[in-house]
Amino acid sequence: MTEVPGEEAGRISFRARFSSPFLALRHRDFRLVWIGAFISTTGTWMQTIAQAWVVLSMTGSAFYLGLDAFLATLPMILFSLAGGVVADRIDRKRLLMISQVLQMSFAFILTALLVTDQVQVWHILVLSFCTGTVQAFGGPAYQALLPVLVEKREVPNAVALNSMQFNLARMLGPSLAGIALATLGAEWCFGLNGLSFVAVIITLFFVEKSFARAGGRKESVLFDLREGLSFVWNEGRLFLLTVLAAATTLFGIPIVTMMPVVAENIFGVGASGYSWLMTASGAGSVTGAVLVASILTIRRRGSLAIGFQLSFALLLLAFAFSRMFWLSAVLAFLTGLALLGVITVTSSMVQLVTTEQMRGRVMSIFMLAFRGGMPLGNLFSGWATERWNVTFTLAFNAIALLGVGLIFLAFRARLDSKAEAEAVVAEVA
């Protein structure tokens, strides 16, 4: 790898800063994992949409809607650090396959409960917690394997492509869910999600790369955990990125959770309108992923992430007060783009800073911040919407995000200085 001085980095040509957004897909193993993840994530979004609608239909309560989302993501707070240690100790491929089999089983259980008309709210809440627990162990392993499947200079592109498949699924899944809900029933969404996990299991079987850590570990699990936390704390950029991720999800992700309330209470458009809003948000995220994936070298990635975050906050504020459905759909598209920008840029920066032997633990800490903010944000947003209304909730979150973004402007130089050098070195090496 050749070091590139800061002044030389500034002379990199316009063409060198851009490439095909699909560059990492030239690697067979990454391509297999990407395809399997896309199919499975599409099924997961179908279940997410159907499950939110079922909970709201059964209870008529925004609080239960927030509680279900809270229980689905709470395990990330409780178990993700342990999941990161496990991902750095055992075969990541095997860990991922176990995770997929268990999630498939939970989806089929819920399908059976719906088909037999035995489902109760507590069933959904318990299975949401169980699914979240499995994801807390499978998630760090999945994030840690991505850099192994591509060259180092392609890591940011791989991260963006991973976001792209997730958001392509977020665009397709709600559309399919809307059709299934209107014509077949919610049980089909859960059943198809169960089948979608088969795609991941098959593709992982054909992946040739080994994700097992070389050599055994003599240190205790607690030692490994302290080592990971110390690494993030001492790497100031990692700590700042972790805090930014937590704030973004704490106040930003509830826009997705509260979307059915917006569709029903503000516009009265039912499941069909709800799926259109979610599709627009997903389309914006895909657009953002293509944009970020096309950029090879960004000299100020930290500033870019903060810019995306501030833009998202302003768009969220506008979405909160919009009373025209077409305008809300456009704003959903733009908020999806901006939110994806924050997530992808910060995730790629974390991957570039992290060492391979620490990757599972570092990604579990980052996921704890990124996804750990979700249950708290969802629980608060559900309570606030029940107590006041969804407009107040979304506006409050937007103002909080604006405050966070303005505070982080003071740290942008610290993020940019080394992030720029790392980006240049990684991309031109």
CA distance 362 to 351: 9
Q: Where are the alpha helices (DSSP H) in 253-324?
A: 254-257, 259-261, 270-294, 301-321
Give the pLDDT of residue 314.
92
Exposure on the CB side of residue 8, measured as CA atoms within 13 A: 8
Is the Cβ–Cβ distance between 241 and 415 less than 8 Å? yes
| The two structure tokens encoding residue 19 | 């490439």
Is the Cβ–Cβ distance between 197 and 77 less than 8 Å? no
362-414: pLDDT as tens digits: 777 787 777 767 777 777 888 888 888 888 888 998 999 888 888 877 766 56
The confidence band for 356, taking pLDDT boundaries of 50, 70 and 90, is: low
Q: Which of 3-17, 182-196, 236-250, 299-313 has the highest mean pLDDT?
A: 182-196
Give the pLDDT of residue 315.
92
| The two structure tokens encoding residue 392 | 């107040």
| The two structure tokens encoding residue 324 | 């025209």
H or E segment and range at residue 269: none
Is the Cβ–Cβ distance between 428 and 359 less than 8 Å? no
pTM: 0.70
3-state secondary structure of 323: coil
DSSP string computed for 369-400 = HHHHHHHHHHHHHHHHHHHS-HHHHHHHHHHH
Mean pLDDT of the chain: 78
80-121: pLDDT as tens digits: 778 777 777 777 778 888 888 999 999 999 999 888 888 888
Give the pLDDT of residue 299.
61
37-81: pLDDT as tens digits: 899 989 988 888 888 888 888 888 778 887 888 888 788 778 877
| The two structure tokens encoding residue 355 | 């060492």
CA distance 256 to 281: 9
H or E segment and range at residue 217: none
